[in-house]
Amino acid sequence: RPFGFPRSEIVEEEEHPGPGQNRVPVTMNSQENTTQRPAGGGKFGVIGVLLSFILGRLFPGFAVKRLVRALGSGSEETRTAAYMALVKLGPRNADRLLAEARAGHGTASILQALGDMGDRHVISDLEEFTKSSNAKVADAARESIEVLKSGEAE
C-alpha cells in the first residue's frame, strides 16, 4: 500500500479516503500548538529529513523529534519525506511518537504514521485520541485504527 502524501493545507474531512486507499497526512495547525515553517523547508529541508532518518537508526529519540518538527514544514517535499521516514523507522519508535502526539506536536500526522507502521499494539493508544475535541486528530485516530484492524498498513 503506497504512502499518503502531506498537503500544504489541512485536508478536509470529505477528502479523507477510506481504508486501503492512499492516506493523506494532515498538516499540523495552530490547534496542535505548531507553526508552519517557511516554504522550502526553512533550515530543515529534505536533506535534513534524510540525515535524520539515517541517524534515526542509531539515535531514534533525536531523529523522531526532528522528523516530527519537519512535519510542520512549509515545504510539501519536506513534510512528505518526514512522514515517510517516520513510518520507515518503524514500530520501535511508537512510544516516542505517542509521546510527541500527546504533547500536541503533529498529532494527526503522527497518528496516521502509527497506523501505516502496521503495529496493532498501538490500537489502544490510538483509541484515546478518538475522543479529541480536534476533529482532524479524532478522524486520523479512527482511520489508523481501521487500517490496523483491516491489516492494510504498509
Q: What is the pLDDT of residue 38?
A: 39
Confidence at 6, pLDDT banded by 50, 70, 90: very low
What tens digit of pLDDT does each residue of 83-99 get?
Answer: 999 999 999 999 999 99
Quick check: 27 pLDDT over 70? no
User: What's the confidence (pLDDT) of residue 124?
Assistant: 96
Contact 105, 33 (CB under 8 A): yes
pLDDT tens sequence across 128-145: 999 999 999 999 999 999
Nearest to 71 by CA among 116, 98, 34: 34
Q: What is the pLDDT of residue 57?
A: 76
The chain-wide mean pLDDT, for the chain, equals 76
Residue ranges in 16-153 assigned as alpha helix (H) = 45-56, 60-70, 76-89, 94-102, 107-117, 123-129, 135-150
For residue 131, what is its C-alpha cell? 475522543
Higher pLDDT, 65 or 54: 65
Would you say 39 and 75 are in contact if contact means Cβ atoms under 8 Å apart? yes
Do the Cβ atoms of 104 and 132 come closer than 8 Å? no
Query: Cα–chain-centroid distance for residue 120?
Result: 16
